[in-house]
Amino acid sequence: MPRVGIIALLQESNTFLAERTQLDHFRRDLLLTGDAIRSALADAHHEVGGFFAGLDQAQIEAVPIFAARALPYGTLKALALTQLMEMLSSAIDATGPLDGLLVAPHGATASENVSDVDGHWLSLVREAVGKIPIIGTIDPHANLSAAMVDSTDALIAYRTNPHVDQRARGIEAARLMTRTLTGDIRPTQSAAFPPLAINIECQSPDIFPCLPHYQAAVSMRERFDRNDGGPVTRGEVLSASIVLGFPYADVPEMGSAAIVVTNDSPAAAASHARTLGDGLWRDRNTFLPVLLGVDAAMDGMMALPGPVCLLDMGDNVGGGSPADGTAIARAFFDRQIAGSFVCLCDEPAAHAAKAVGVGATIWLAVGGRSPEWAGVPMTEPLAAEWHVLALSDGRFTESQPRHGGLTAFDQGLTAVLVSNRGLTVMVTSQRMAPFSLGQIRHVGLDPAGFRFLAAKGVHAPVAAYSEVCRSFVRIDTPGVTTADLSRLTFTQRRRPMFPFECATDS
C-alpha cells in the first residue's frame, strides 16, 4: 500500500502589527505531530480532513507528520520559525519512506528574517523527501511565491470566501495524488504574478469583480472536473486557481496570482496561467472599492431589513487585528442604538466582570487597549456603566462548515455586559474571529434577537452570520486591516504595483 505523508503549517502574518506571533500562539491553537493529527483533524471541515478522507477512499495509507496553525496575527518571530522548522524536520526524519506528500501551507506567513515562510519550509521539505510528488492546498489570501510553486507539483487554492470548501479542496488534492501515484497523470504547474494588489473589500469570488475570473478558472478545468477517472490527455488542465493575495504583509511576494496545473505540459500550464493573470490585470480598475465610513454606515443601516451585520474591516481578526477596536461600539453607544451587539477582546474587563459577578453593575472601560490604537481616532476605550449579564469559560463548538474549517473554539473567560443605551458587549480573554454563531449562543444569547451585530471581519463572518442576518454592511473603520490601503506604509512590496503606482494604470 502506498504511503502518503501529511504536513500543514498555517498562519497569516500581518506585518503592520507591532506585536509578534510566537510559538505559544501555535500551542494555543494547533501544534501536533503523528497520530494526534488524525484525531484532531480527520473529521474537520478542513483541508487536512479532506486529505485523510481522500486517501482513505483510495486505500492509500495516510501518514500524519506535522500540523501547526495559529490565528492570524503579527510577523512570526525568528525564534518561533526556527523552533517550528526543528519540529518539522524531526517529524519528517521519524516518518520513514514516503511515496507522496500532501501539504497545507497558508501562503501568507512571514517571519522577522524570512519574508516567504511558506516557500522556505516547502523548499526544506522538498530537499528532505526528494522527488516524490508533493501536492497541496493554499488559502486564496496567499502571497504566492516562485519558491512555493517550484517546491511542489501542484497547488490548489480554495474557491470560496468565506472559505467553506477547504475539505473539498483537500479531497481534490488527494485525488490528484492518487492519480499521480497510479501513473494516470503527471502534474506540471505554472503561475502568473500580475503586479496587482486586490483590495480585501473586493475579494468575494461569488460576485463582481472577482466572479468573471473565477468563472474563467472553472471553464479551464471543466473537462477534468467532469472526468470519471478515464484517460487524461497531455496538457489537460487538472486545476486552475485564482490567488487573491494578502495585502497586510509588506513583503516582496505580496499581490495577486494565478496558478494552473496541467497533465505533463509545463508550456500549457504557463499559457493558461498567463491567461488568468492577464485577465486580472486587464480588469484591475474594477478592484478599486467604494468605501463606506462609520457615520455613513450608521445612517444607512437604519433602513435595511434586519438583523443587520456590520463588518468591521479595520479590525478584522481574520487579518491579524487585535480585536478590541471600538469604532463601531462607540457609534452604537453614542447614538443609543437599541438592540446592538459587539464583541471585543479585553481580558482585564472580563476579569473585572467576573470579580463583581453576574447581576452586578460596574463602571468599566472596555476595548481600545492594544498599542495599535495609539493616536487612532474613534478607538479609545469605551467607558460606561455596565450590567453583567453572563459569564462563561469561552468554549464552544461549531458543527457546520464555516470559514477556516474549525469545529472547536476557546476564547477564554468571557463576560456579557449590557449598557442602558441599548448596547451589548461581549468581552473575551483571547482574540476570537467571528466564524461561528456559537460564540454568541454559548452564553445564552440569541443572535437573531439583536437588530445590529458587529463582526470583526470582511467576508469570513458571512458564512455564519447569514444564518440570521438579512443585510450586510462593510465599514471602512480605522485599524491595521484598513480597507484603505493608502493608509499603510509599504517599504518591501513590489514596485510598480497597482493601485499604488499610477504609472501602472495605463
Dihedral (Cα; 388, 393, 394, 397), 10-degree rounding: -130
List, for residues 397-423, the tens digit of each pLDDT value: 999 999 999 889 999 999 999 999 999
Give whole-number Cα distances, 159 to 108, 135, 241, 258, 335, in Å.
Answer: 17, 17, 8, 12, 39
- Which pLDDT band, with edges at 50, 70 and 90, does 223 fall under? confident
Sequence-distant (≥ 6) Cβ neighbours of residue 349 within 8 angstroms: 364, 365, 366, 367, 415, 417, 427
Tell me what the mean pLDDT of segment 297-312 comes to.
97
Tell me what the mean pLDDT of segment 131-160 comes to.
98
The residue whose grid cell reads 472547536 is: 408
Residue 237 to residue 110: CA distance in whole angstroms: 31
Give the global pTM: 0.97
**What is the H or E stretch that residue 108 is in?**
none
- Which pLDDT band, with edges at 50, 70 and 90, does 506 fall under? very low
List, for residues 257-279, the tens digit of each pLDDT value: 999 999 999 999 999 999 999 99
Nearest to 312 by CA among 412, 298, 418, 404: 298
- Which pLDDT band, with edges at 50, 70 and 90, does 226 fall under? confident
Per-residue model confidence (pLDDT) at position 406: 85
- Which pLDDT band, with edges at 50, 70 and 90, does 32 fall under? very high
User: Which amino acid does the sequence have at 248?
Assistant: Y
Residue 503 pLDDT > 80: no
**What is the H or E stretch that residue 432 is in?**
none
Per-residue model confidence (pLDDT) at position 505: 46
Residue 504 pLDDT > 50: no
Per-residue model confidence (pLDDT) at position 229: 76
Backbone angles phi, psi at 185, to 5 degrees: -135, 160
Give the whole-number percent of the chain exceeding pLDDT 70: 99
Cross-sheet strand order for the sheet of 308-312: 361-366, 382-392, 414-418, 423-428, 340-345, 452-455, 308-312, 471-475
Residue 280 pLDDT > 70: yes
Tell me what the mean pLDDT of segment 389-393 comes to.
98
CA angle at 439 for the pair 485 and 298, rounded to the nearest 5°: 50
Per-residue model confidence (pLDDT) at position 225: 87
Average pLDDT, the chain: 96
Assigned CATH topology for domain 3-287: Rossmann fold (3.40.50)
* Residues 483 and 291: beta-carbon distance below 8 Å: yes
List, for residues 70-86, the tens digit of each pLDDT value: 999 999 999 999 999 99
Sequence-distant (≥ 6) Cβ neighbours of residue 6 within 8 angstroms: 37, 48, 51, 52, 62, 63, 64, 65, 67, 101, 102, 103, 104
Higher pLDDT, 219 or 226: 219
The residue whose grid cell reads 486552475 is: 240
Helix ranges (DSSP H) in 58-182: 78-93, 117-129, 146-150, 166-181
Higher pLDDT, 378 or 352: 352
Q: What is the DSSP letter of 439?
A: H
* Residues 246 and 254: beta-carbon distance below 8 Å: yes
Name the residue ranges covered by the structural domains of the chain.
3-287, 294-483
Per-residue model confidence (pLDDT) at position 376: 84
Residue 62 to residue 100: CA distance in whole angstroms: 10
